[in-house]
Chain A
């Protein structure tokens, strides 16, 4: 029982770290990119259509590692593979 509680406690901390740090990193990255996009768009409005597609592509690329982290964290939250050691 103690092992179960320990695993759950540490998994909880891990889930928080995965989502929190991932979100922080992704937000900083997207913030920098969008700021540069707005700056570029203000300087050269005729470049907006050409840049917009790339912005969306990069948005997905930057977001991806965070989303992968969220997916893994969700797996640990609802179907923790580490708990199978205790379940037997």
Chain B
């Protein structure tokens, strides 16, 4: 990842130089160290696209009628109903309070962020070079930046903790950390110890339960973030490889154009599917936080 953080990558006209140029972020340093680096391209693209798509939905929702709907309203209702159905199957509570709106937001936002993959990579580089000079870099797909996907996944993770504590109470949640999923085996206690014959919950499995829960809490955001990032990053790299292939000789322009078209068509599926999966996992995680064992 070291090369990704470098603002200006060396502009050698080699295959790796081409790919590194396209995979370099427009990074601005805000303070000391690598931590305070802002990826301007990721930030600007994701905020702008989020505002655009939410604004469009808001504009349609503001003029919504119960009479004959316009085409825009019909489309938004279609998306809305689709998401609502998915949430209904997973979460059995008052889904309209929080989870269904969150799912709609996450789905639409990730979908438009992923869709930036359809912009031809060299057009983006060309536009940026036109405005910012030869050394300027710009990554158009925010979800192929691991920071974006981790930000989304960690936000979901925090919501998970919030709902766990809200639904079960702080002590209920801590109890579940230690008592689920293996339970607490009941131990037979002889009369000489307790003064009466009985069964008590033993702390034997506390550690195993806690370790299991810990692994679950760590692996959830990891797989959630890396799944989206890996798909988008690999997709982008394959577009770059095809572009590079086209540039390597006149004879390769046509075959790589055909393959590029094929990959674009397949990528439409991946883009929508990954947005859908990211949304579904968000809903599943939040629904799991609501359930008590």
B-binding residues in A (CB < 8 A):
53, 56-57, 59-61, 63-64, 67-72, 74-75, 78-79, 81, 84
Contacts and interface: CB of A to CB of B under 8 A. Distances in A.
Nearest to B227: A64
B230 A70 contact: yes
A78 B227 contact: no
B277 A68 contact: no
A81 B1 contact: yes
Contact of B230 (A68, A78, A79): A68
B273 A59 contact: yes
B273 A60 contact: yes
B1 A60 contact: no
A71 B20 contact: no
B230 A71 contact: yes
A81 B237 CA distance: 17
Contacts of A63: 231
Given A78-B16, A78-B237, A57 B230 contact: no
Interface bin, chain B: 20 to 34
Given A68-B226, A71-B234, A60 B276 contact: yes
Given A71-B237, A74-B233, A57 B227 contact: no
Interface in B1-59: 1-4, 16, 19-20, 23
Contacts of B231: 63-64, 67-68, 71
Contacts of B23: 78-79
A56 B2 contact: no
A74 B277 contact: no
Nearest to B275: A60
Interface string B222-248: 010011011101100100000000000
B274 interface: yes
B284 to A, nearest CB: 10
Contacts of B230: 64, 67-72
B287 to A, nearest CB: 15
Contacts of B273: 56, 59-60
B280 interface: yes
A79 B277 contact: no
A88 to B, nearest CB: 11
B241 to A, nearest CB: 8
A74 to B, nearest CB: 4
A59 B277 CA distance: 10
B2 A70 contact: no
A57 B229 contact: no
B2 A84 contact: yes
Given A60-B273, A61-B277, A71-B229, A79 B234 contact: no
